[in-house]
Structure 1
């Protein structure tokens, strides 16, 4: 019996050491540089990176050109982490793709607060370029920087927010963490040999699937992180959304709902308000329909306050809701819509 207990103790200590080594070293050994003549890249040593359009990434000696991701930081250098803060989460809709600073949601909301003598700062956090699990970890770490969070607002776009998903790939021996996209990764006849981090909108470029490009975390390591709670709080593996991989398109609805519930839980712990805002999808808006009611209904049933911009302003002309199209795929929101969203958030913040 003594030997058995000694063996179990040794095994437990070994796992603890392995977990600490993983957290300390594995997540920090990606060597990334970028072309400083292009736009800004945001890189998190533990979780990955977010790039701006046309950045050239050099990852472990391999060069990649990324032209699909767009982010920006507004006044991040003057962030006061002890000051009362409103955090906006979202993709390029929130950051204001192609807009000057004064046309963004963050600027509009900050302006409303100042005019009403409310001394809060407004900051934005990106939700893109991560699997759902990495997104959750990123939020936990980012939120911890702020000592006085008054509200967390998730502005759900129809691009990047819906692409963050944890996909269980049943054709391989262990699950694959990847991005959901309009085209399911299931269409590949030869499954990857290891979990890969699929780059959004770059399915045709097989070089992006190089194991050296992978920044995902396999389930065993997730289990270690989860069990010992090194950088995770209350998330358990059984809570992660399992999406069966079929030949049909993968439905990301449950992933969006899942992530909103997770962040709502974080907000509750921080005694902060949480609002989930859903913005219009251009093609569906032009057809007079919106899938947002699916999300708002389920989130409302969970006690989460939501605002569906698409239905609330359904009679507005499409040209006033979206930017003048740069191409047929452009569906980024106009300055007018950014202002409407800021007003909705401000109205929510005044509710007691």
Structure 2
């Protein structure tokens, strides 16, 4: 039995992971469930999966959960932040599923890697801001990293079992649906509402990542993540728009042959791959019917229409804390857009201002990443307040 810690269990990734676990209960047991504040949903998860421990970030929500655990006579122990981080690195956990969104998940990911755990990585932002530091930690502790966003999982699968893959790899091609505004005229972008931006045409995701998909920042972040996960140069990472969302990524080798990974767009598939590796376990997702799909389309992305792609590559090229500045400014700007404080176009305006204003530094520890993150957030919020007034 593998003991799992599922971080962000009430979110989209966490819920999909629990679905896979429920259908493979003879292989997995839950040691820990964690979330930010949704005590009602995590309480129901505790009833079904009976984890040994549970953690909520929000203190008021923790109090409510503690009362309910007692009233329901559940044996699950509610733990604080300190014990939460200790547990991740303990022998009670074999696999950590990192489903916490944004830089909020960085410290727990770092803890898992320094403890030599198998990490199922859904939090791309952590690798965007601290890829070099996390890779060093993983190498020293011999931790295994399995990306479970569909694109990087696809690359991992395409490279699995390829002898000398680093020397024979020519490039990777990340696919993206293009989001809900692929065919929308740029002149209409200022009128885009949060409701429109979170209506993804292919995937069911959280609000933040849905907005990232609509600006294509999600794809820009994935370029940076791919660089660190697969030890690539920026020039080895291409992007192609694929509206059907069936081909999740491709790898081209030096002999010009290409391997691709195809499936219906269902997060349970990459999650099952990461949980079961090197074995293949049931994902209980639908099978892909190629005859029904019939046709697959591929379109070159428009970098002028979606400037996030150039901003991400600019940050990657600059190195150091540049990617942390990019990510922090994006998180703040997206939140402001979702709260209807700024318009859609101003998301990129704020990111560019932050990247052009704050000095880029070289850091070797995650504390340096947090310092850059704080500076970027402060400046982004000032710019938003200026625009609001």
Interval containing the TM-score (normalised by the shorter chain): 0.3 to 0.5
Q: Which structure is higher in helix share?
A: 2
Q: Normalising by structure 1, what TM-score?
A: 0.34
